[in-house]
């Protein structure tokens, strides 16, 4: 009896599972193109007893169209910021073993270099961000950084000359030019 029930359940799951697979593809807006159809299967079985195995008397198939026409939409390119990129980070005097050292927002004029270490999360595909370094609101440097993973740590640095005291900032910009975050700092 258990074998009969098990076999009947497998047949039902196959029929229901196939239907759900097609329904999920359609509900998710699948990219499937061409002649879309489902072949429903009607199964009529004979009476089952404890000694019998599952037998099929009649199998009827027919093709039912799922969609008459698929309309192609214009492709919209979404900026990574809109795709959920998140950026955290900080400034410091160095990076060792992918960790920031000497974290600060104020640096002495003889610091040499200031590092900007960021962690980007949420990238669904490889992309880039750019560190744009500003001194007194004038762009001084631009460094493009590849983001290859859903969670990716990267950094850039700027050599600071002793005469460049004052307000600085590093903007993290996506490929569409959106400023994702900004890190202001002062050189004294």
For the chain, domain boundaries: 2-65, 86-187
Residues 6+ apart with CB under 8 A from 144: 128, 129, 130
Q: Which of 99, 133, 136 is nearest to 114 (CA)?
A: 133
> Which runs of consecutive H residues, i.e. helices, occur in 30-129?
none
Q: Which of 17-21, 27-31, 73-77, 83-87 has the lowest mean pLDDT?
A: 73-77
Residues facing 138 on adjacent strands: 135
Sign of CA pseudo-dihedral 176, 155, 124, 182: negative
Per the model's pLDDT, the better-predicted residue between 109 and 76 turns out to be 109
**Strand order in 179-187's β-sheet?**
106-107, 179-187, 166-173, 127-135, 138-147
pLDDT in tens, 135-176: 999 999 999 999 999 999 999 999 999 999 999 999 999 999
Q: Which CATH superfamily is domain 86-187 in?
A: Immunoglobulins (2.60.40.10)
pLDDT at 83: 59
pLDDT at 84: 81
SS3 11: helix
SS3 125: coil
**pTM listed for this prediction:** 0.57
Residues facing 159 on adjacent strands: 113
pLDDT in tens, 73-99: 333 334 444 458 999 999 999 999 999
């Amino acid at each position: 009896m258990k074998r009969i029930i098990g076999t009947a359940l497998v047949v039902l799951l196959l029929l229901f599972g196939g239907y759900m697979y097609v329904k999920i593809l359609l509900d998710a807006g699948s990219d499937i193109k061409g002649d879309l159809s489902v072949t429903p299967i009607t199964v009529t079985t004979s009476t089952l007893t404890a000694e019998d195995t599952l037998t099929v008397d009649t199998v009827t198939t027919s093709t039912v169209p799922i969609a008459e026409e698929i309309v192609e939409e214009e492709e919209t390119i979404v900026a990574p910021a809109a795709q959920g990129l998140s950026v955290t980070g900080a400034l410091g005097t160095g990076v060792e073993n992918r960790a920031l050292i000497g974290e600060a927002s104020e640096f002495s004029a003889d610091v040499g270099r200031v590092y900007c270490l960021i962690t980007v999360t949420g990238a669904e595909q490889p992309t880039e961000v750019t560190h744009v370094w500003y001194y007194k609101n004038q762009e001084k440097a631009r460094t493009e950084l590849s983001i290859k993973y859903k969670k990716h740590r990267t950094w850039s640095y700027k050599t600071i000359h002793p005469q460049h005291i004052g307000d600085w900032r590093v903007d993290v910009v996506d490929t569409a030019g959106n400023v994702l975050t900004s890190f202001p700092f002062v050189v004294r």
